[in-house]
Structure 1
Amino acid sequence: MDLISKHAKELLEFFKSTSFSKAVLVSFAVTTPIILGIATNHLEIGLALCFGAIWCSPSDVSGRLKHKQIGILYSSLLVVIVSFIGGYLKDLNYFLFPILGLLTFSIAFISIYGFRASLISFSGLLALVLSFANTTNTLENYTYALLIGLGGIWYLLLSTLWFYINPKAQTEEAIIKTILLTADFIDIRKQIIGEQANRQNLQTSLINLQSELAEQHVSLREILLLSRRSSGKSNYKNRRLMVFSQLVEILETANANPVNYDKMDVFFEMHPETKKKFQNLIAELSYQLRTIAKNLNQTNEFSSNKILSDAFNSLEKDILEFKNENNFEEYERYLMLQNFLDYQKKQFEKLKKIKWLLGNPELSTEDYHDNNKLKRFIEIRDYNPKIILRNFSFRSTIFKHSLRLSVAVMLGYAIGLLFDFQNPYWIILTIIIIMRPSYGLTKTRSKDRMIGTLIGAVLATCSVFIINDPYIFGALGVLSLVIAFSMVQKNYKASATFITLSVILIYAILEPNIFQVIQFRVIDTLIGAAISYSTMRLIWPAWSIAEISDNIKDSLQANITFFKSISNFYQKKGEVPTSLKINRKEAFLQMSNLSSAFQRMAQEPESKQKHIDEIYELVVLNHSCLTSLASLSTYTQNNKTSKASKDFILIAEHIIKNLEKACAMIKDVNFNDSEINKSIFIPEPYDFPKNLITSDSILKSDNELTHKEAHLVWEQLYWLHSLSEKMLKLTFKFSR
């Protein structure tokens, strides 16, 4: 029963998701013109409007309403131009293939302007491919193109109307997803406590999840900040913005660790009961976050704070037993545990703040964030035409992808004509849908597309044997279309299954020989997938190894900048500067980019994974560095700290110097060509100061807060120094 209940809840959540509502919206936008066209004996007009709506729908993604509207408008304009040109392509004879290739390249190259531009590009490519479909015999070419543009406007109106009907939907869903991912992150951090046989796997999962969270933060930041700027000081938006701010702080604190893992491992091995209590405490924090996500607007369903309060009280009593100022080793362990517990208390405070904010309190003017500060967190997309010239090179991944795609499209269409396939444009449609700039994603989508098409063909064949009613075919076709659109992002294989089923069922209404349609649909898809994979593998391949050194350098440079901000703040004190938070955001974002680049590399052929162990170590070192910086950042921002000592300033400068040296060396590394340097790296001699807690000035103080600060800061500096030397040794291996 529990399993049934779980799946029923998941199904209900799916029906409530924006993916499903958008799928219903797209299906309504597509089917309404067709039904009206049939009813008024103007089916060709209905089909043109239908195509315009479906081609422009990819630009309807989460974000500010104005950006969505502009994206759909640009898609409409592009599909009008492409459809008009495409209407004359079949009459060009020998010039068909070079012009087809040029158009494909030009449209695909629009993607250099970012994610939303890539969706507009995709709309244009769909319009180009389906201009071969011969959907009209009576409409003039320009009339057909304009009607397609009108279909895009029709979808824009529906999308805008739906946004105003349910304006909070995308915000709520993005908040819930961020909360759940944060809870997952905390769960993995809980598992890493104490020595683990699978720590490396957990560390990899942690890095990957942090990458996903960073991307989610970018999306949610755009939704909240840009819409807030346009709608003014909305109480709802400000409350959600403050919730998001707390979630960012929770992620940073979850990354924080008061000492390196080795010391924690030794202690928890000797005291497994304390380890278990900490794990239970962190598990409860994660559970309460999930409860908040599940009942976002039902605060009466939130978990009681008393459970966590009792857990903290129990741990505090246990930790006090280790307080022995006459035994330095015992006292140091006490400080380590107390600092670790303080981090969890900070999480509890942020959790309580989220619960309070979701209770819809009235915010005062002081609670509102400064717009001038907030806009610094948003990346402004540069649409300078010079970007085209900068990317017109084989160093550009998009340039190579556009060339590769144009070759694949010409080859696919040539094969379709050569063997006289029923619908040769299905081959190039498959290519357009499958091919992506990265090898791993193209390979995965090729496999999923083929499997999904085969499953869809089998289901369609069974349906045709059982059902003969065209109205049932139409209803099932529309239902399959809704499911297909709603599953595109979640499960591409399932989406391919239902899109195949939908296409075949709709064709079954119009085409008497439906089994021939099924046969060609399968063959065309298999050929398109094979061409996509082959061209990705053989023609101007863009292997991640060629760019991963840049990703490592960018992540390392972001960590250096973040460290400098923390050091400056620790020395100067005062109000936390916005620049520190911006540099923190950039460090997490660059770490996300590095993690994504490494994941792409790990999916590529083994022959293209040279030095993968060393590269993975550099990824982990960067992440460990960021974790340590998060520890320092969290502590310095949330605690009153003493005057920065000369030792702190000197050590920080030395660590930054080491990291900058490593950054300079990695800048010139090409892992594809580099050989391991056999020379032994000898680090610059450095007399690292003794543990700050043992210095006379600290020991003479009776202030425990000073002791905790000295212990945490020294541990992080010592750990960062160790990481910087490891990074230097590793990068030296590839220096020339």
Structure 2
Amino acid sequence: MAAPIPQIKQFLYSHYLLGGLRQSLGVLLPVIILGRFFGHYDLGVIASMGATCVAIIDQPGGPRRYRNNEMLGGIILGTFTVAITGLASASPVLILLCVPLLCFIYSMLSVFGRRGGLIGFACLLLMTLTMRFPMQPQDILLHTLYSLGGGLSYYLFSRLFRKLFWFREERQTLAVALSATAEYIATRSEFYNSDTNLDECYRKLIKIQADMTDKHQAARDMVLRELPTGSGRGDKHKQALLTVYLNMVSVLDSLVATYTDYTLLRRQMGNTDFMFFAHDGLYKLSIDVGNIAMNVARSLHTRRRASVKAEIRAMEYELEQHRNQGMPTNDPETYALLVQILRRLRNVNRIVEHMANNTRRASQNMPVDQYMSKSLSRFLSREDIRLGMLTSNLRLQSTHCRYALRVTVAVLCALGLGALSTHFHDKLGLISALTVHSYWIILTILVIMKPGFATTRQRNGWRLAGTVIGCTGAFLLFKLTDSGEVYLGIMLLAYLLGNSLVQLNYMLSALFNTIFVILSFQFLSTGGTFIIGERLVDTLIGCGIAMAASYLLPSWEANSLDALAKQALVANRDYLHTGLEFARLSRAHSQARLQASHADSSEQAQAELAQLEAALMEADTSWQLSNKNVHIAFSNFAAAFYRMMDEPVGRQRNVSLLNNLLIQNHVLASQISAAVPLLATLQEVPPGIGQSLDAIQTLLTIEDASAPGSIETEGELALLAYPIRQMVKAAQLIRQDMRGLEYSVGPQLPPKEAQERGLAA
């Protein structure tokens, strides 16, 4: 299956390339100004080191205000780091004390999340570059001031860059989320292809959904913090972004609510034309959403090229044929599923059509005021920063403390290796010459090592592959030409691509960064191809130390998966609770509005209607917030599960149980999304459905409950019966799997239940 958007085209119009361009220009600017115009290339390099620290923090995506504060914090900490490291650089003993201490402290900043980890890594990078050579006391102040100036220059440049390219990054952040949505739609279309493996489809869908959730959160933070005010600069652009974002969320909600028992559907429908048209319709919609993503990034209007009208009409014809053959009577459950699939495809097509029409300019009659409510602030991600988070993790049980200790030990090993290489310089000869730059070994360790074992091993492989390919490319370049102009052009292009790809493809980023560093040294010295061997050997040593240290006090993903499974369960339980409350208030509001519409309605009835409207709006917001929390909890659970699958087999635990929990939590959330809107349209909840909902809520508290043997399926209730049955089934399986997790770390399952679950010896 081809991707809805070619990856190269997607990259060229993404905020990753724009962010890489901003970082590259901001870092190289001090060298260009101080070197080209004043002849002080050495001072320009020092200033660029300070700018590099801030550029690492200035990653694409995320709230602009938070990023400004983070860059300022990085400048302060980076300046302190340069001063301390400079003072210690003249004494090997002080370096041996200072560097490991800074490594531990800055690695502990990972407790503050991804942004804290970036600030810590940026400061460690400055430390590593500062310790390259010993400095005299009179040089330390000048070095620190130029590093500070470089950091401030990048900060000001970044602010100016965003002013000049206003809303460009916002549009491209939203475009990245739309591209992820297009890939998600294309993956869902494969469920209607009977030739594909259903388990493989689920695995791929869960991975894509976890990645998509992060990109949706970045777009949410960007758009909801840039809401139109009604009279401000750029309100038309803000309205367009808000319209597209809300439509994107509606598309996702509609698709999530179309979950069905694909095993049953494939068994009943097989390779019928209905399945074929459903597959093609969804895939065409993914192409449409991909085109919209590209046009959002380029600020262009979208003209839809792919149309699903033919598929919808063909599905309507197929459904009519099944109706004439008596399927509503003979197989009402399958017929209700087919009706639901058709309705959802129509709905998604309508939303995509509206999104395409408002790609560049939103409709003028868009109700802006309803989106200015303070309740929307609850949808924004917030990073809690408290000193207590740092001190409470200073214990061996903390994964962050273990990670900091691993980094510290690895850096100590690198320092020891460098000291031995210097001490035995005469005996080691070439080996000593190749490892003379121990700071590169330390830098490799800091880049590779991450809190998770699987991530460290993965980055280790990518770093090695990228370095080897980059060294090979640089070697061939040196053999083909000795033109300085060619070297300079390739060096600048490599630096741009290295910065742009760091979040997308780490191996390619390492490849281009290796070429940039080798060409930089070619300008600074005449080492020739010897520099290539030096970089390669240092990287190999750094990778080896990092991989060996990752086995020290490791934090295996299996240890956190039980807690993440519980969080996913709690998120689904809250999602159901808030959804049922929303449905209850919707029914009450409909009745109150009907009473208030009578000519003889009292003022009390009008007041009750107003109160119900306010309560309904709050309930709707709470339900949508719970929906967001379900996606985040599921994404965290899925990401940790697949990281565990990349760890050694001996460290994997309860793979079957956890995989079933992933699928059933996905099923449950999907069916809640499908059932709640239907419940909201009823005048009253039938007894059988009400008892089933009570049983589901009880099961989600990991208590036994029995659902009624039959539920109402008359008329439109047939559409509701299927998601209710699926919710009961999913809740029962989740309860069993959660009990299985409890017994796996405690008492064994009773023999009878173990035999039923296939877990008996």
TM-score, normalization by structure 2: 0.85
1:457 is the counterpart of 2:455: no
Deviations 1:578-621 (A, max 9, x none): 00000010011100000010011011111101222222222222
Q: Tell me which moved more, 591-600 or 519-528.
A: 519-528
Specify which of 556, 565, 571 is matched with residue 558 of structure 1. Answer: 571
Determine the structure 1 residue equivalent to 2:628: 585
Alpha-carbon contact 2:228-2:239 (below 8 Å) kept: no
- Aligned in 2, Cα 1:510/1:231: closer, same or farther, shift over 3 Å? farther
1:661 is the counterpart of 2:706: no
Alpha-carbon contact 2:471-2:536 (below 8 Å) kept: yes
Determine the structure 1 residue equivalent to 2:497: 483
The residue matched to 2:700 in structure 1 has which SS?
helix
The residue matched to 1:360 in structure 2 has which SS?
coil
1:283 is the counterpart of 2:283: yes
Deviations 1:338-389 (A, max 9, x none): 2221222221222122123225134347344133121010132211211112
**Aligned sequence identity (%):** 21
Determine the structure 2 residue equivalent to 1:226: 225
Determine the structure 1 residue equivalent to 2:687: 646
Alpha-carbon contact 1:253-1:634 (below 8 Å) kept: no
Q: Counterpart of 1:350 in structure 2: which amino acid?
A: I
Aligned length: 694
1:32 is the counterpart of 2:26: no
Q: Counterpart of 2:388 in structure 1: which amino acid?
A: K
- Aligned in 2, Cα 1:177/1:563: closer, same or farther, shift over 3 Å? same
Determine the structure 2 residue equivalent to 1:238: 239
Q: Tell me which moved more, 175-184 or 186-195.
A: 186-195
1:383 is the counterpart of 2:385: yes
The residue matched to 1:243 in structure 2 has which SS?
helix
- Aligned in 2, Cα 1:308/1:521: closer, same or farther, shift over 3 Å? closer
Alpha-carbon contact 2:179-2:290 (below 8 Å) kept: yes
- Aligned in 2, Cα 1:550/1:511: closer, same or farther, shift over 3 Å? same
Determine the structure 2 residue equivalent to 1:690: 710
Deviations 1:61-120 (A, max 9, x none): 222322222121111111100000000223344343233211111111122112222111
The residue matched to 2:249 in structure 1 has which SS?
helix
Q: Distance in 2 between matches of 1:371 and 1:66?
A: 20
Q: Distance in 2 between matches of 1:260 and 1:274?
A: 16
- Aligned in 2, Cα 1:567/1:689: closer, same or farther, shift over 3 Å? farther
Q: Tell me which moved more, 380-389 or 202-211.
A: 380-389
Specify which of 521, 531, 540 is matched with residue 507 of structure 1. Answer: 521
Determine the structure 1 residue equivalent to 2:733: 723
Q: Counterpart of 2:501 in structure 1: which amino acid?
A: M
- Aligned in 2, Cα 1:13/1:621: closer, same or farther, shift over 3 Å? closer
Unaligned runs of 5+ in 2: 423-434, 590-615, 748-761
Q: Distance in 2 between matches of 1:60 and 1:229?
A: 25
Alpha-carbon contact 1:256-1:634 (below 8 Å) kept: no
Deviations 1:491-529 (A, max 9, x none): 222222222222222212232333333222111111001
Determine the structure 2 residue equivalent to 1:49: 47
Aligned-pair CA distance for 1:708: 4.0
Alpha-carbon contact 1:194-1:264 (below 8 Å) kept: no
Q: Tell me which moved more, 322-331 or 350-359.
A: 322-331
Specify which of 405, 408, 420 is matched with residue 406 of structure 1. Answer: 408
Aligned-pair CA distance for 1:709: 4.3
Alpha-carbon contact 1:295-1:301 (below 8 Å) kept: no
The residue matched to 1:686 in structure 2 has which SS?
coil
Aligned-pair CA distance for 1:23: 2.8
- Aligned in 2, Cα 1:26/1:717: closer, same or farther, shift over 3 Å? closer
Q: Counterpart of 1:690 in structure 2: which amino acid?
A: S
Alpha-carbon contact 1:322-1:333 (below 8 Å) kept: no
Determine the structure 1 residue equivalent to 2:177: 178
The residue matched to 1:322 in structure 2 has which SS?
helix
Q: Tell me which moved more, 325-334 or 61-70.
A: 325-334
- Within-5 A mapping of 1:497-646: 497-537=511-551, 539-573=552-586, 574=589, 575=616, 577-633=620-676, 635-636=678-679, 640-646=681-687
Aligned-pair CA distance for 1:125: 0.6
- Aligned in 2, Cα 1:724/1:535: closer, same or farther, shift over 3 Å? closer
Aligned-pair CA distance for 1:16: 4.0
- Aligned in 2, Cα 1:499/1:136: closer, same or farther, shift over 3 Å? farther
Determine the structure 2 residue equivalent to 1:312: 312
Aligned-pair CA distance for 1:399: 1.6
Alpha-carbon contact 2:14-2:173 (below 8 Å) kept: no
- Aligned in 2, Cα 1:131/1:311: closer, same or farther, shift over 3 Å? same
1:441 is the counterpart of 2:461: no
- Aligned in 2, Cα 1:592/1:37: closer, same or farther, shift over 3 Å? same
Q: Distance in 1 between matches of 2:531 and 2:408?
A: 27
Q: Distance in 2 between matches of 1:105 and 1:96?
A: 14
1:323 is the counterpart of 2:323: yes
Q: Counterpart of 1:476 in structure 2: which amino acid?
A: I
Q: Counterpart of 1:249 in structure 2: which amino acid?
A: S
Aligned-pair CA distance for 1:146: 2.0
Aligned-pair CA distance for 1:231: 10
Q: Counterpart of 2:25 in structure 1: which amino acid?
A: F
Determine the structure 2 residue equivalent to 1:673: none
The residue matched to 2:225 in structure 1 has which SS?
helix
Q: Distance in 2 between matches of 1:35 and 1:49?
A: 11
Q: Distance in 1 between matches of 2:510 and 2:136?
A: 30
Q: Counterpart of 2:15 in structure 1: which amino acid?
A: T
Determine the structure 1 residue equivalent to 2:754: none
Q: Distance in 2 between matches of 1:315 and 1:427?
A: 61
Q: Counterpart of 2:356 in structure 1: which amino acid?
A: K
Q: After TM superposition, what 4+ stretches of structure 1 lie above 6 angstroms from structure 2?
A: 135-138, 229-233, 324-327
Q: Tell me which moved more, 392-401 or 467-476.
A: 467-476
Q: Distance in 2 between matches of 1:422 and 1:478?
A: 27
Q: Counterpart of 1:27 in structure 2: which amino acid?
A: S
Q: Counterpart of 2:626 in structure 1: which amino acid?
A: N
- Within-5 A mapping of 1:189-200: 189-193=188-192, 195=194, 198-200=197-199
Deviations 1:686-716 (A, max 9, x none): 25231311xxxx4xxxxx4x34444345434
Unaligned runs of 5+ in 1: 663-683, 699-703
The residue matched to 2:362 in structure 1 has which SS?
coil
1:273 is the counterpart of 2:273: yes
- Aligned in 2, Cα 1:395/1:361: closer, same or farther, shift over 3 Å? same
Q: Tell me which moved more, 50-59 or 509-518.
A: 509-518
Deviations 1:279-310 (A, max 9, x none): 22222222222232233344353237xx4334
Q: Distance in 2 between matches of 1:508 and 1:194?
A: 55
Q: Counterpart of 2:295 in structure 1: which amino acid?
A: N
Aligned-pair CA distance for 1:229: 7.9
Q: Distance in 2 between matches of 1:469 and 1:308?
A: 55
- Aligned in 2, Cα 1:276/1:43: closer, same or farther, shift over 3 Å? closer
Alpha-carbon contact 2:448-2:459 (below 8 Å) kept: yes
Specify which of 407, 423, 427 is matched with residue 437 of structure 2. Answer: 423
TM-score, normalization by structure 1: 0.88
Q: Distance in 1 between matches of 2:236 and 2:375?
A: 18
Q: Counterpart of 2:312 in structure 1: which amino acid?
A: F
Alpha-carbon contact 2:31-2:41 (below 8 Å) kept: yes
Q: Tell me which moved more, 346-355 or 512-521.
A: 512-521
Q: Counterpart of 1:265 in structure 2: which amino acid?
A: R
Q: Distance in 2 between matches of 1:13 and 1:255?
A: 25
Aligned-pair CA distance for 1:449: 1.5
Q: Distance in 1 between matches of 2:362 and 2:230?
A: 19
Aligned-pair CA distance for 1:634: 5.2
RMSD over aligned Cα atoms: 2.8
